[in-house]
């Protein structure tokens, strides 16, 4: 059909790759469903005791399995079919959604079922993240990787935009409707991932030596690459202190008074900003020096958090969240592109698992930090202070990680000499990459 051909021509080239398009569909469905579930759980949990600390506990229980299982999950990803691992995570999320339907039907008046299911969600995240991060380099050519990673980020954030809004609408109808819709989306993701063909795309084998050294391969690689370590740590601290997403139910109910639909809109705002930024990155990859851009974007992220914390008007709050999501997409793109481009395939799962710990710490552990700080100091003071701390951290990073500050264009990523970074567990040192 002529119309469909025209649509295909307008798509980014990497989306014409059937297997990558299936992966993108799976990523979209997983995050769309995850965000719907997050809105529903956030409202139900806060409604039980009206304690911000309970929201923090959800984040802590979701992060704990990521922390405990990350290293073995990364090693498993480097040994077993990555698409099967990702599909297994989707099936686990289907089970969680089914359990949430039963909890809602019983009245949802106790906290412990939500804590247990948050832990199960963390197990799925520990499995899915390294597999999701390791699949694109197997499915697309190296020169297409920056575009593929930008597309994957846009697809992920598109789910983050639509998911909370849809979740809020479905929850307003009935909580079970939100969870049932999420269950269907997780099933769609599982099917899409299983349809990916890896025929002829053989990943580099893991040379099994000392099991402990093999397990720690991702840690050694990141530690031996200071600019990558700096980028990951900066993202960690920015979201750990500057993130306010976990407290959005408090703002929606007690400060802005906008109800569950308004909560969904608030959760969508950062992702909408990220989609706008990601679309720009797909069309024109970052050409400015990446190090200085990263530090500037994290500084703006902190400032937007301060504005959001002080706002009592829905419009101002939405703009602050949108700006935060916009600049955060740039920092995420810089970090993920750097990590993917410089990591050898045989250790990609293990590096991805370490990233999962950092990202989980910034998101789930950040949610616990936000809930605890809000319980101790008040919601507004804790959010404003967190934004100010993020600004201070970003401005100090130039001296703490000078190699990151000197990071140039992403297109200039090149292998360094053997010995500057080694992948432990592969038998021989493997060259990393950097920008000098």
Question: What percent of the chain is modeled with pLDDT above 70?
Answer: 82
Average pLDDT, the chain: 79
Residues 6+ apart with CB under 8 A from 5: none
Mean pLDDT in residue range 105-113 = 87
Q: In terms of pTM, does the model score above 0.95?
A: no
Q: Per the structure block, which two tokens stand in for 113?
A: 């079922």
Chain segment 23-42, per-residue pLDDT in tens: 999 999 999 999 899 888 88
Mean pLDDT in residue range 93-99 = 95
Of 389 and 264, the one with more pLDDT = 389
The gap from C-alpha 312 to its chain's centroid, in whole angstroms, comes to 28
- Per-residue pLDDT at 199 exceeds 70: no
- Per-residue pLDDT at 8 exceeds 60: no
Mean pLDDT in residue range 320-329 = 89
What confidence category does residue 132 fall into, taking pLDDT thresholds of 50, 70 and 90? confident
- List C-alpha distances in Å: 354 to 73, 105, 360, 377: 10, 38, 10, 32
**What pLDDT does residue 23 have?**
93
**What pLDDT does residue 412 have?**
62
What domains does the chain contain, in order, with CATH numbers?
A: 11-198+211-434 (1.20.1250.20)
Chain segment 200-239, per-residue pLDDT in tens: 555 544 455 555 566 666 777 777 777 778 877 887 787 7
Highest mean pLDDT among 49-53, 83-87, 288-292, 355-359: 83-87
- Report the distance separating Cα 205 and Cα 366, nearest Å: 35
Chain segment 259-290, per-residue pLDDT in tens: 778 887 887 788 788 888 888 887 776 777 77
- Per-residue pLDDT at 101 exceeds 90: yes
**3-class SS string, 201-252:** CCCCCCCCCCHHHHHCHHHHHHHCCHHHHHHHHHHHHHHHHHCCHHHHHHHH
Lowest mean pLDDT among 11-25, 133-147, 364-378, 416-430: 416-430
- Report the distance separating Cα 307 and Cα 316, nearest Å: 8
**What pLDDT does residue 425 have?**
38
Q: Per the structure block, which two tokens stand in for 45?
A: 């949990």
What confidence category does residue 361 fall into, taking pLDDT thresholds of 50, 70 and 90? low
**What pLDDT does residue 335 have?**
79
What confidence category does residue 293 fall into, taking pLDDT thresholds of 50, 70 and 90? confident
- Per-residue pLDDT at 306 exceeds 80: yes
């Amino acid at each position: 059909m002529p119309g469909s051909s025209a649509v295909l021509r307008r798509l980014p080239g990497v989306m014409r790759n059937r297997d990558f398009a299936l992966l993108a569909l799976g990523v979209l469905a997983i995050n769309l469903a995850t965000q719907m579930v997050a809105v529903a759980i956030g409202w139900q949990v806060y409604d039980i005791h009206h304690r911000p600390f309970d929201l923090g506990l959800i984040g802590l229980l979701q992060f704990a399995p990521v922390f405990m299982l990350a290293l073995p999950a990364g090693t498993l990803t480097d040994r077993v079919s990555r698409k099967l691992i990702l599909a297994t995570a989707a099936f686990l999320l289907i089970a969680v959604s089914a359990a949430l339907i039963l909890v809602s039907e019983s009245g949802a008046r106790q906290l412990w079922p939500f804590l247990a299911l948050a832990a199960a969600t963390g197990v799925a995240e520990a499995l899915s993240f390294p597999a999701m991060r390791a699949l694109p380099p197997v499915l697309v050519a190296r020169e297409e990787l920056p575009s593929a990673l930008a597309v994957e980020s846009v697809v992920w954030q598109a789910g983050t935009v639509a998911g909370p809004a849809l979740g809020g609408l479905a929850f307003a109808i009935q909580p079970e409707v939100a969870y049932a819709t999420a269950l269907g989306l997780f099933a769609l993701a599982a099917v899409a991932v299983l349809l990916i063909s890896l025929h002829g795309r053989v990943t580099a084998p893991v040379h099994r030596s000392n099991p402990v050294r093999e397990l720690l391969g991702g840690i050694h690689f990141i530690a031996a690459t200071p600019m990558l370590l700096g980028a990951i740590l900066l993202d960690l601290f920015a979201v750990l202190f500057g993130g306010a997403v976990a407290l959005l139910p408090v703002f929606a109910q007690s400060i802005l008074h906008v109800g569950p639909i308004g909560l969904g809109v608030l959760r969508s705002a950062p992702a909408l900003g990220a989609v706008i930024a990601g679309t720009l990155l797909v069309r024109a990859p970052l050409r400015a020096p990446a190090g200085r851009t990263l530090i500037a974007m994290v500084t703006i992220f902190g400032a937007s958090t301060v504005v959001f914390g002080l706002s009592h008007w829905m419009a101002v709050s939405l703009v602050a969240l949108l700006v935060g999501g916009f600049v955060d997409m740039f920092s995420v793109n810089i970090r993920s592109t750097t990590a993917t481009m410089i990591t050898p395939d045989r250790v990609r799962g293990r590096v991805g698992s370490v990233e999962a710990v950092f990202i989980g710490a910034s998101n789930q552990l950040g949610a616990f930090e936000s809930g605890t700080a809000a319980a101790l100091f008040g919601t507004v003071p804790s959010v404003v202070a967190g934004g100010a701390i993020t600004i201070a951290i970003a401005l100090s990073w130039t001296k703490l990680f000078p190699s990151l500050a000197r990071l140039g264009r992403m297109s200039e990523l090149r292998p360094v000499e053997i010995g500057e970074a080694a992948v432990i567990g592969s038998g021989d040192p493997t060259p990393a990459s950097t920008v000098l």
